[in-house]
Amino acid sequence: VAGRYVKELRSLAQSPWFDLELNERVGDGSVQEVLYDALRRSGALPSSERCKLISAGREDLDVRMLGEGRPFVIEAVNPTTPSVNAEMLPVATRDLEEGDYGAYARGLRVCSSQGTSLRQLQAGESQKTKFYEALCYSLSPLTDEEVQRLTWSEGVTIAQATPLRVLHRRSSVVRERCVLSCRPEVVAGTHGRAFVLHLSTAAGTYVKELVHGDLGRTVPSICSLLGRGCWCLQLDVTCVDMPFDGTDDETHDGVPGNFVVDIDDDGGGGVGDDSD
């Protein structure tokens, strides 16, 4: 089943997350479980051994996914029956919208490994554009000149080393990323210290590190452009812009096939190196 999910809860992981050192679960559930449980309750998906969520990148636990949502495909692994009941997808959609689960889905449809949706997810690995709103805090008030300095619409190339927070599970490399546009909006009543950054970036950009600089591992950063400490307090993804229409998905009746998607597995399914 394919669609786009919206995540409104900042304590919801994308997929089940366990801290092996503490032997405990992190967060208040996962988007994967919310979607799969609703699809099973409605009868759209059969019972299965487990499920797998494949998505156009992933957001951090404390980051919301808003707007039209993030493209995804959810697969029932070793199901009791190899088919999807498409007539029950609207029931699952209503359940998700009316329930208090912290996430819901839009545009649910039958898909298969020979259809368009998975190919579009794979193509979007390097082609998607993401839009954000980042609530930031500066050590001193933003001046009018600094607001202009942080405003651009023609694209700025940055160099990002693998962030310290994920270095334990990813190799240390430096990648060039493009911040397509940036516009700060000072928050009223904060004496110029708090501001919302409206951003659009190419795939793979680490936005939190773009703000605080990651001890000089992201150059330039908002911190380096201002010449002082600056932190991202809250982050929302407002749009994942990529083709995801699934035009020929249903011609394959939702029967699983052998399409292979390159999974960047850091605790759950996600296509490519998305870095919210």
Cβ neighbour number for residue 148 with a 10 Å cutoff: 10
Q: What is the DSSP letter of 40?
A: H
Using DSSP, state whether 34 is helix, strand or coil: helix
Q: Which amino acid is at 271?
A: V
State both tokens at 59. Answer: 């957001």
Catalytic residue, chosen from 28, 60, 241, 274, is 60
60 belongs to the catalytic site:
yes
Q: Measured over all CA atoms, what is the biggest interatomic distance in the chain, rounded to whole angstroms?
A: 63
Using DSSP, state whether 106 is helix, strand or coil: strand
C-alpha atoms less than 13 angstroms from C-alpha of 71 in its C-beta half-sphere: 24
Cα 6 from chain centroid (whole Å): 10
Is 66 within 8 Å of 236 (Cβ atoms)? yes
Q: What is the DSSP letter of 250?
A: G
Residues taking part in catalysis: 60
